[in-house]
C-alpha cells in the first residue's frame, strides 16, 4: 500500500508578490501568485505599500491555492513560509498568517530561507505538459552541483551538497545582478522592474555594439556598482555627441543595441565567475535560480556551456524562476522529511544567511 503523501502549503511574501502553493510530495497541485500594481509609479518597491498589499492579498491567495489544489485543510501536513531574507513588513504578513494557520489546524510550522528555496525550485515536479518529456526526465540536478542564484537582491554562487546543505562560495560585494538590470533600465527611463524589458529589447539588438566594463574582483565574488556608474556616464556622454542632442534621443535611436550590450556584459560577468568556480571545484553539474534566471541571454549562455564544454546545465521553468510559493513548499517538504520544524516562537528576519 502506498504511504500517504506529504501535503505542504507554502507561503511567500518576502517582497512584492503574495504567493501560496500546495505540493503533494514534490508534485505541484497549485501555485498562485498575486503581483502588486501599487508600486508602478514609484520606480521600485515601496516597503510600506508592499506590506499593506500583502495583507489584502494573503487570504484570497491562500483560499484560491487550496481550492485549485482540491485539498481539504485537514489533509495538510504542514505549512511553510518565507522567514527571510526580505522586507521585514512584508515577511511579517506571510509569517503571521502561516503561524495562525498552523496554530488553528495544529500542524507543524516550517520557516524557509528564500534563497535556499530559489535553489530547491529545481526539485519541484512540474504539472504534466509544462516541460517536454525529455527535459522533465533530466530536470533535477544531482549533488554536488553549483547554483548561480541571481535575483533582485542577491547574486551568489552556491555549492549545493545536499537538499539542505549549501555553502555560499561567492557573492556580490555591492549591487545584485537584478539590480544592475533594473537600475540601468531606470536610467533609460524604463518602468520597474526593468530586467524583463531589457531582455525583450536585447533580443533585437547587437550585443557587441557597445563595450561596458567587467569588474575584476578576486575569487568568485562579483561587483556591479561600477557598471551602473559607467552606464550612467555612457548615456549622458552619448546623449551630447554630434549625432544626438539629448540622452533621450540617443536611447530611443539605439535602445535595442544598448540593451543587448548591457545584457551581454552582465551575463558574461556571471558566466566567467561560474566557470571559474566549476573548473576549480571540478563540478560539471550547473544550475541557475532566481528572477534573473528568466533572462534569455543567461539561459542561452548556459546552454552554450553545455553544448561546447561538457557541462550539464539545469534551467528552471519560467514559473519557478521569479518569486513564487512552490519553491517555499518544496523546501518545506525536505525540511519536513528531516524533522526541521519550528514552534510559534519563531520569527521573520530581514537578513538571513545559510
Ligand atoms: O527572484 P526575484 O523574483 O525577486 C527577488 O528575490 O529579488 O527577482 C527579481 C529580479 C528583478 O531584478 C527583475 O528585474 C529580474 O529578477 N528579472 C530579470 C528578468 N526577469 C526578472 N532580469 C533580466 N531578465 C529577465 N528576463
Ligand atoms: Zn527571490
Q: Which pTM does this prediction carry?
A: 0.94
Ligand 1 pocket mutation, candidates 181, 207, 315, 350, criterion most atoms within 8 A of CB: 181
Where in the chain are the domains? 7-126+320-337, 145-316
Taking residue 219's Cβ as centre, other Cβ atoms within 10 Å add up to: 12
Nearest ligand to the CA atom of 114: 2
One-character DSSP codes across 263-326? HHHHHHHHHHHHHHHHHHHT--EEEEESGGGG-HHHHHHHHHHHHHH--EEE---GGGTSS-SH
Fold of 145-316: Nucleotidyltransferase; domain 5 (3.30.420)
List pLDDT tens digits, range 97-156. 999 999 999 999 999 999 999 999 999 998 877 666 556 556 799 999 999 999 999 999
The distance between the two most distant Cα atoms of the chain, rounded to a whole number of Å, is 78
Give ∠ CA 312-215-185 in degrees, rounded to 5. 85
Q: Is the CB of 292 under 6 A from ligand 1?
A: yes
The span from the CA of 116 to the CA of 167, in Å, is: 10
Closest ligand 1 atom, residue 154 Cα: 7
Q: What's the chain's average pLDDT?
A: 95
Specify the 3-state DSSP secondary structure of 182.
helix
Does the C-beta of 86 come closer than 6 Å to ligand 1?
Answer: no
Atom number in ligand 1 closest to CA 185:
14
181 lines ligand 1 (CB under 6 A): yes
> 7-126+320-337 belongs to which homologous superfamily?
ATPase, nucleotide binding domain (3.30.420.40)
> How many angstroms is it from 353 CA to the middle of ligand 1?
20
One fold for 7-126+320-337 and 145-316: yes
| Ligand 1, atom 11: closest residue by C-alpha | 152
What percent of the chain is modeled with pLDDT above 70?
97
Query: Would you state the pLDDT for residue 44?
Result: 84
Q: Tell me, using a 6 A CB cutoff, whether residue 202 lines ligand 1.
A: no
Which ligand 1 atom minimizes the distance to the CA of 182?
14
Dist. CA 121–CA 131, nearest whole Å: 14
Residue matched to cell numbers 495544529: 106
- Span 148-174, mean pLDDT? 97
Better pLDDT: 232 or 243: 232
Tell me which DSSP letter residue 73 carries: G
Is 231 a pocket residue for ligand 1 (Cβ < 6 Å)? no
Ligand (nearest to CA of 266): 1
Look up cell 556591479; give the residue. 224
Closest CA to 158 of 149, 150, 331, 320: 149
Strand, coil or helix: 218: coil
Rounded mean pLDDT, 158-171: 98
C-beta of 193 in contact with ligand 1 (< 6 A): yes
pLDDT in tens, 308-323: 999 999 999 989 999 9
Is pLDDT above 60 for 215? yes
- Nearest-CA residue for ligand 1 atom 22 is 195
Q: pLDDT category, 346, cuts 50, 70, 90? A: very high
pLDDT band of residue 41 (cuts 50, 70, 90) is confident
153 Cα nearest atom in ligand 1: 7
Checking if the pLDDT of 83 tops 70, the result is yes
- Residues 200-207: what's their mean pLDDT? 98
- For ligand 1, atom 21: residue with the closest CA: 291
Q: Choose the weakest-confidence range: 129-133, 261-265, 347-351.
A: 129-133
84 lines ligand 1 (CB under 6 A): no
The bound ligand whose nearest atom lies closest to the alpha carbon of 196 is 1
Least confident of 44-53, 56-65, 257-266: 44-53
* pLDDT for 128: 79
Distance CA 187, CA 42 (A): 14
Stretch 36-58: mean pLDDT:
91
pLDDT at 2 (0 to 100): 66
Query: What integer pLDDT is reported at residue 42 of this predicted model?
Result: 84
In this structure, of 18-22, 43-47, 87-91, the range with the lowest mean pLDDT score is 43-47
**Residue located nearest, by CA, to atom 3 of ligand 1:** 322
221 CB-contact burial (10 Å; exposed 0-12 / middle 13-18 / buried 19+):
middle
* Residue, of 43 and 343, whose pLDDT is higher: 343
Task: Give the count of alpha carbons within 13 A of 319, CB side only.
Answer: 16
Which of 178, 180, 200, 295 has most ligand 1 atoms within 8 Å of its beta carbon, as the pocket-test mutant?
A: 178
What is the Å distance from ligand 2's center to 164 Cα? 18
Q: Which ligand is nearest to the CA of 183?
A: 1
Amino acid at each position: 500500500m502506498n504511504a500517504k503523501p506529504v501535503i505542504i502549503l507554502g507561503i511567500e511574501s518576502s517582497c512584492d508578490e503574495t504567493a501560496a502553493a500546495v505540493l503533494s510530495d514534490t508534485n505541484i497541485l497549485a501555485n498562485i501568485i498575486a503581483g502588486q500594481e501599487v508600486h508602478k509609479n514609484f520606480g521600485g518597491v515601496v516597503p510600506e505599500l508592499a506590506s499593506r498589499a500583502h495583507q489584502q492579498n494573503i487570504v484570497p491567495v491562500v483560499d484560491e491555492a487550496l481550492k485549485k489544489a482540491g485539498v481539504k485543510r485537514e489533509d495538510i501536513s504542514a505549512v511553510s513560509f518565507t522567514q527571510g531574507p526580505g522586507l521585514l513588513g512584508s515577511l511579517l504578513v506571510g509569517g503571521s498568517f502561516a503561524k495562525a494557520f498552523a496554530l488553528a489546524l495544529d500542524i507543524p510550522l516550517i520557516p524557509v530561507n528564500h534563497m535556499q528555496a530559489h535553489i530547491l525550485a529545481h526539485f519541484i515536479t512540474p504539472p504534466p505538459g509544462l516541460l517536454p518529456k525529455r527535459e522533465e526526465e533530466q530536470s533535477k540536478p544531482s549533488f554536488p552541483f553549483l547554483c548561480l542564484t541571481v535575483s533582485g537582491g542577491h547574486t551568489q554562487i552556491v555549492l549545493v551538497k545536499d537538499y539542505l546543505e549549501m555553502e555560499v562560495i561567492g557573492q556580490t560585494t555591492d549591487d545584485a545582478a537584478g539590480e544592475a538590470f533594473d537600475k540601468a533600465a531606470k536610467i533609460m527611463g524604463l518602468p520597474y522592474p526593468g530586467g524583463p524589458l531589457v531582455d525583450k529589447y536585447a533580443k533585437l539588438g547587437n550585443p557587441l555594439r557597445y563595450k561596458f566594463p567587467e569588474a575584476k574582483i578576486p575569487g568568485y565574488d562579483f561587483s556591479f556598482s561600477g557598471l551602473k556608474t559607467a552606464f550612467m556616464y555612457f548615456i549622458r556622454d552619448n546623449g551630447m555627441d554630434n549625432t544626438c542632442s539629448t540622452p533621450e534621443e540617443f536611447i530611443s535611436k539605439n535602445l535595442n543595441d544598448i540593451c543587448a550590450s548591457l545584457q551581454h556584459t552582465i551575463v558574461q560577468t556571471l558566466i566567467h565567475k561560474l566557470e571559474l568556480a566549476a573548473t576549480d571545484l571540478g563540478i560539471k553539474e550547473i544550475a541557475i535560480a532566481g528572477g534573473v534566471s528568466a533572462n534569455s541571454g543567461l539561459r542561452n549562455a548556459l546552454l552554450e556551456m553545455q553544448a561546447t564544454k561538457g557541462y550539464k546545465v539545469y534551467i528552471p521553468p519560467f514559473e519557478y524562476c521569479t518569486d513564487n510559493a512552490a519553491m517555499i513548499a518544496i523546501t518545506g517538504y525536505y525540511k519536513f522529511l528531516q524533522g526541521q520544524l519550528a514552534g510559534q516562537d519563531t520569527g521573520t528576519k530581514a537578513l538571513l544567511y545559510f
